[in-house]
Amino acid sequence: GAVVSQHPSWVICKSGTSVKIECRSLDFQATTMFWYRQFPKQSLMLMATSNEGSKATYEQGVEKDKFLINHASLTLSTLTVTSAHPEDSSFYICSAREARAGTEAFFGQGTRLTVV
């Protein structure tokens, strides 16, 4: 199947700093990318949907100024957690899908963010 690479796999940062997470589709053009957050023993919560070249659509309750999403190319989307706080510590997962209707989304391996 198609490959989605997420980087870094884990990151530790200090409170107040910003962290950028990259999501790349390695062998297909991802017109749509999704960002999820996963709490321990909880389900994946969709944070936002981004389409290449346009602004991301955020789910209700997700602060768009805190979680900046950029999808500038068909193979790369980034999530920047700005002014991180300990409560932002979580597992963040991206997925990417081609433009054709009905195609499946492929998932990255996730990024473990710890804010200290």
Partner 1 sequence: GNSVTQMEGPVTLSEEAFLTINCTYTATGYPSLFWYVQYPGEGLQLLLKATKADDKGSNKGFEATYRKETTSFHLEKGSVQVSDSAVYFCALRTQGGSEKLVFGKGTKLTVNP
Instruction: List residues near partner 1 by CB under 8 A.
Output: 1, 4, 6, 34, 41-44, 46, 49, 57, 93, 95, 97, 104-110
Radius of gyration of the chain, Cα coordinates, nearest whole angstrom: 13
Report in angstroms how near the CB of residue 55 gets to partner 1 at its nearest: 14
Report in angstroms how near the CB of residue 83 gets to partner 1 at its nearest: 27
Q: Which of 43, 86 has the CB closer to partner 1?
A: 43
Sign of CA dihedral 96, 98, 101, 104: negative
Residues contacting 22, CB < 8 A, separation 6+: 6, 7, 76, 77, 78
Q: Which of 32, 80 has the CB closer to partner 1?
A: 32
Report in angstroms how near the CB of residue 54 gets to partner 1 at its nearest: 13
Q: Which of 86, 102 has the CB closer to partner 1?
A: 102
DSSP code for 26? S
Report in angstroms how near the CB of residue 20 gets to partner 1 at its nearest: 19
